[in-house]
Amino acid sequence: MILVGAMVLALWGIGMLMGAPKKARWVMISILMVGVILVQITFIEGHPFREATGGDVRLWALLIGFAVIIAAYRWLLTKLKAKAKAEESTAPLQTGTFSETEINRYARHMIMREIGGLGQKKLKEAKVLVIGAGGLGSPALLYLAAAGVGTIGIVDDDEVEGSNLQRQVIHADSRIGMPKVFSAETAMKDINPFITVKPYQRRLTEKDAEALIGEYDIVLDGTDNFATRYLVNRTCAKLGKPLVAAAMTQWEGQISLYDPANGAPCYECVFPEAPADGLVPTCAQAGVLGPLPGVIGSLMATEAVKAIVGAGEGLRGRLLIYDALYAEPRVLRTKRREDCPACGKPH
C-alpha cells in the first residue's frame, strides 16, 4: 500500500511539474488504481505483486468507495452553490433590502448589537428634515448621509460665502455663490449615492412649515435665529414630531431632544421666551470656534440615529451643554410646563 501511495504522489507531482491540468492528473491516478485492482483480482493470494499493492482487494474497494462518495458530495455542493448564486443575482431587489455594495458600506453598523440589519433598514426607510445647512447642519447632514438615512430634506435660503468655510465643512471653495442646499446635496451624494436628498431653497415660514415638517419622521434644527426656532418647535409639537435642536456661540454649544409626544419637554418649555434683540450675539457678531459646530452637529446626527433605531438613552428631558474652552460637558435636567403654549394642556 505504501508503494501505491508513493506512485500516486509521484504521478501528481510529475503532472504538476509538466503543467498538466488537475483533471488529467486524476485520470492518470484512476488508471493506476484500475491497474492495482486488476493485480488484486488476477494474482493469487500471497503473490509479491499482490502483497506490494495492498494484499486485499476489499481494502481498495472500501477506500475507492469513500473517495467516490466524497467526490460526489463536493460536486453536488458546488452545483447547489452555483444555483443559489444564480438565483440571487436574478432575484429582484425588494423595497427596504440592501444591495451587496450597501451591505459592505453599512457593515460597521450591521455588526453592532444596538443597530444590526433591522436598525439599518429603519435608517434606510427614515425621513429626516434638517433646517439650516450652515455650521451645525454641515456635519449633521454629512453624517446622516453616511449613516444611510434614506431621505434627507434640507431647508436653507442662503448661498455659500467664503466666510462660511471656516466651519461649514459640507461646502467647498469651488461652490462659493451656489445655494447652500445644492452645495450640501452635492457633498452628500458624493458620500452616499444610495440616499435621496431633497433641497428646499427657501426660509421656513408659517405658511409652509406644517406641510413640510409633516412629511418627515424627525427634524433637526440648526438655525441661527429665534423666530425660526420657535416656529419649528411649535410645528413639531403640534404634529408630534421629535426635534433635535442645537445652538452655539464662541466656545459653547448646547443640544437637546425635544419630544413632548413621548413625555419630554419641548423647546419652549425650556426657553419660554426669546432673548431681547442684541442680548445674544450671532456667530457673525461674536465669532465661533471652527471645530465646535463639528462637535455639536455630530451630536445632532447621533441623537437622530439613536431615535430612529431606538438605541440607548437620548437627550429627551436633558440639555447637554459643552464648553470647548475648558473641555467641560454639563447635563441639565429639563421638565415640561403644563402652561407651555406649544405643548401644554389646553385650558
7-55 tens-digit pLDDT: 657 765 676 777 767 676 666 767 767 676 666 667 666 666 556 666 6
**Packed helices 22-42 and 2-17: angle between N→C axes, nearest 10 degrees:** 160
Tell me the one-letter amino acid at 251.
W
pTM above 0.95, yes or no: no
Cell numbers given for 96: 427596504
The residue written with cell numbers 447632514 in the block is 141
CA atoms of 122 and 267, how far apart (whole Å)? 26
Strands 318-323 and 218-221, sheet pairing: unpaired
142-189 pLDDT, tens per residue? 999 999 999 999 999 999 999 999 999 999 999 999 999 999 999 999
**Number of residues in the chain:** 347
Q: Which domains does the chain have, with CATH numbers?
A: 2-90 (no CATH), 126-333 (3.40.50.720)
Is the pLDDT at 212 greater than 50, yes or no?
Answer: yes
- What was the pLDDT predicted at 257? 98
Does residue 3 have a pLDDT over 70?
no
Residue type, 346: P
CA-wise closest residue to 339 among 279, 265, 240, 229: 265
Whether 340 has a pLDDT exceeding 70, the answer reads yes
The grid coordinates listed for 222 are 440648526
User: Containing H/E element for 107?
Assistant: helix 107-110
